[in-house]
Amino acid sequence: MTAEILKVEHLNKFYGDWQALYDINFNIQQGEVVTLLGPSGSGKSTLIRTLNGLEKFKDGQLYFHGKAIDSRPQNWQTLRQKIGMVFQSYDLFPNLTVMDNILLAPVKVQKRPREGIEKEAWELLKRVGLDKHADAYPRELSGGQKQRIAIVRALALHPELMLFDEVTASLDPEMVRGVLEIIKELSDRDNMTMIIVTHEMNFAAKIADRVLFLENGKILEETPGKEFFDHPRTKRAAEFLNSMDF
């Protein structure tokens, strides 16, 4: 039986008096890829940031491997080593080389030996075709290269769950494919457990085991990936797919 990695129960999120998320319930199993789809402002990024402790929620509960998550900041600092996240803005340290960006958290936070991490980092850089850029600084890289480095940096922590929040949104169209191919490989080759926010419908159709379709902070539909794209269950999801020329 596949292990449950993350479970979300009755999650509600507010910004002041405005409710951003309404009674969110779902789980994700080991090796599963879940995509969060929906129009802009539907709550996708808010939800995925909440799953990494970057947004506080009013009530509800998150469980990691069946254990309720203690939402205090110090607890999230530890959990983020197991729940990795890649943002659309890269968030690389501009004053550090590519290699030092990758090594920083495993060495300083996880206290792992630099030598072993550096060897692993080289292998990861080779895998994404950027081993020749190990000594470069972020300003010397293209947007697509920076995003691949951000993915490598997250993988170096050995996460059990990866969260991707619109990682291609700020990239030129020609750079999008390379980044998406890496994420697809993580699913196919590594069986990585992932939750992905994306507007790339063709990519989502290829990679999603399950789709959560959101609008106005609510999950309107939760459907197996292929079924969602072939036969969405709700009229609103069908309208959304048509608007995306899918």
Q: What is the pLDDT of residue 129?
A: 92
Beta-carbon contacts of 69 under 8 Å, excluding residues fewer than 6 positions away, are: 61, 62, 63, 75, 79
Is 164 in contact with 194 (CB distance < 8 Å)? Answer: yes
Domain ranges of the chain: 92-158
Q: What is the pLDDT of residue 173?
A: 83
* pTM, to two decimals: 0.94
Lateral strand order in the sheet of 161-165: 83-86, 161-165, 194-197, 33-37, 210-215, 218-224
Residue by residue, pLDDT tens for the chain (246 residues) are: 579 999 999 999 999 999 999 999 999 999 999 999 999 999 999 999 999 999 998 899 999 999 999 988 888 988 999 999 998 887 899 999 999 999 999 999 999 999 899 999 999 999 999 999 999 999 999 999 999 999 999 999 999 999 999 998 888 887 888 899 999 999 999 999 999 999 999 999 999 999 999 999 999 999 999 999 999 999 999 999 999 876
